[in-house]
Amino acid sequence: MKRIKKIAYCLLGMIFTYGCFLFICILSNIHEKPLSSSPNIILVLGARIYGTEKGKAYPGNVLKTRLDTTLAYIKKHPSTTKIIVCGGKGALEPTTEASVMATYLNKHGIPRQKLIQEKRSTRTKENIQYAMKLVNLDHALLITSDFHLYRSKWLAKQLGIHSIDGLPAMSKNSSIIKNYSKEILSLGYAFIFDNK
């Protein structure tokens, strides 16, 4: 019985240590600033949308924060030529995340001709994979949530993109614990199953 307890404590200790390591990885990118002052391409990763009808769908808080961060950046750097918005249609979503993102950005002043929609992806790795087929992402700027940036850039490197900048959209205080807890699990999964 004592031996079983020791093994259990050892396993719990290992899980806790690994969780701390993942958390530190996530924190390492949350205040990142882009190295390039004028990227030609911006890649915005999707997140949950809401609504019961296609024409009335709207971005959830996480996605809205990413889109508002994009708008603020574009205002300061209007020379950006293309913005790729990524995200397919989830099981409980009325339409694709990309179409809602494009509509939101267009309503806030971004011309349609600047927007490229990637509508097939259902997870982060696919966001980047499918976007790569649309444009060259070398030296692009990746915009996503602060808690999501480390994993997104790590996946981009796994897919062969080694020169991509990141800009974090800062999470609201009310959702920090939930978002970071989920991201620890997602990053752990990525390290095991998305590693080359």
Give tens-digit pLDDT for 139-148. Answer: 999 999 999 9
What is the domain count for the chain?
Answer: 1
Strands 82-86 and 41-44: parallel
Residue pLDDT, tens place only, 112-133: 999 999 999 999 999 999 999 9
pLDDT of 196 > 70? The answer is no
- Interstrand relation of 82-86 and 58-59 (parallel, antiparallel or unpaired): unpaired
What digits encode the pLDDT tens for the residues 137-173?
999 999 999 999 999 999 999 999 988 999 999 988 7
The domain spanning residue 126 has which CATH number? Answer: 3.40.50.620
> How far is it, in rounded angstroms, from Cα 71 to Cα 166?
15
| Domain membership of residue 152 as a residue range | 2-193
Phi and psi torsions of 44, nearest 5°: -110, 120
Q: What is the CB-side half-sphere exposure of residue 32 using CA atoms within 13 A?
A: 26
Q: Indicate whether this model's pTM tops 0.85.
A: yes
Q: How many residues does the chain have?
A: 196
Please name the residues in contact with 67: beta carbons below 8 A apart, sequence gap of 6 or more: 44, 59, 101, 104, 105, 108
